[in-house]
Chains A and B, each alone.
Chain A
Amino acid sequence: ETGVTQTPRHLVMGMTNKKSLKCEQHLGHNAMYWYKQSAKKPLELMFVYNFKEQTENNSVPSRFSPECPNSSHLFLHLHTLQPEDSALYLCASSQVESKRGMALHFGNGTRLTVT
């Protein structure tokens, strides 16, 4: 049990489908993140939510749409994806504070394949 739970673990979708990834954290943290992990590329930060407000959107295409209804839940809505969007999508959470050494806690990811 990592404290951060992602569902589903695996998802295969066509380019015209609409699906959603879900993340839930049980750690009482106040910030949540979406990362994309592709083969042979560094981890890419996609979105950041602090206290449910989106504070960062790193030039992510609009076919990815995040939603953070409360500090424990985070969604990533997907529509009209491209094959190059196939990757492992990782959710993470942290406690944001003015202090050094804040660590992220990651879920096990959703392996997405776009066909």
Chain B
Amino acid sequence: GNSVTQMEGPVTLSEEAFLTINCTYTATGYPSLFWYVQYPGEGLQLLLKATKADDKGSNKGFEATYRKETTSFHLEKGSVQVSDSAVYFCALTALNYGGSQGNLIFGKGTKLSVKP
């Protein structure tokens, strides 16, 4: 079956540090991959996505590259800010036999705290 595994948190960094949050997946076929972010007291927001191998999604200084050979979609940011403190979720969808997109499958989330 399809699944997503992401690194356990919490992750605590100082401002301007480099961030990596690991995400690996198991899926049949060719899934689309996503990173969502949840700020305190809010719902989830799409951060970035990639729909095929070697695609790089990017937004707000965050990047993730769809690596089919390692089944990974690690999230990176070169210099984090206090405002990046949130919970980050890796997720995937895979196409159904009928060609429609299946439901999102989420990882457990990684809490990031950035200290000034």
Residues of chain B within 8 A (CB-CB) of A43 are: 89, 106, 109
Report the Cα distance A84→B37, complex, angstroms.
25
Q: Is the CB–CB distance between B43 and A2 below 8 Å?
A: yes
- Count, chain A residues at interface, CB 8 A: 26
Q: Does B19 contact A (CB under 8 A)?
A: no
Q: Is the CB–CB distance between B103 and A48 below 8 Å?
A: yes
Q: Does A98 contact B (CB under 8 A)?
A: yes
Q: Is the CB–CB distance between A100 and B95 below 8 Å?
A: yes
Residues of chain A within 8 A (CB-CB) of B49 are: 101, 103
State whether A90 and B44 are in contact (beta carbons under 8 Å apart), knowing that A99-B101, A100-B101 are contacts in the complex.
Answer: yes
Residues of chain B within 8 A (CB-CB) of A6 are: 43
B89, B93, B98: residue with the most chain A Cβ atoms closer than 10 Å: B93
Residues of chain A within 8 A (CB-CB) of B103 are: 33, 45, 48, 56
Q: Is the CB–CB distance between A98 and B100 below 8 Å?
A: yes
Q: Does A68 contact B (CB under 8 A)?
A: no
Partner of B42, one of A48, A102, A108: A108
Taking the nearest CB of chain B, how far is it from the CB of A25, in angstroms?
Answer: 12
Residues of chain B within 8 A (CB-CB) of A97 are: 100-101
Q: Is the CB–CB distance between A108 and B46 below 8 Å?
A: no
Q: Is the CB–CB distance between A42 and B52 below 8 Å?
A: no
Task: List which A86-115 residues lie within 8 A (CB) of chain B.
Answer: 90, 92, 96-109
State whether A42 and B107 are in contact (beta carbons under 8 Å apart), knowing that A90-B43, A108-B43 are contacts in the complex.
Answer: yes
Which residue of chain A lies nearest to B98 when distances are taken between CB atoms in the complex? A98
State whether A100 and B108 are in contact (beta carbons under 8 Å apart), knowing that A4-B43, A56-B103 are contacts in the complex.
Answer: no
State whether A109 and B108 are in contact (beta carbons under 8 Å apart), knowing that A43-B89, A102-B93 are contacts in the complex.
Answer: no
Q: Interface residues, chain B, CB within 8 Å of chain A?
A: 32, 34, 36, 41-46, 49, 51-52, 89, 93, 95, 98-101, 103-104, 106-109
Besides A92-B43, A104-B44, 7 other CB < 8 A contacts? A2-B45, A45-B103, A96-B101, A100-B95, A103-B49, A104-B104, A109-B42
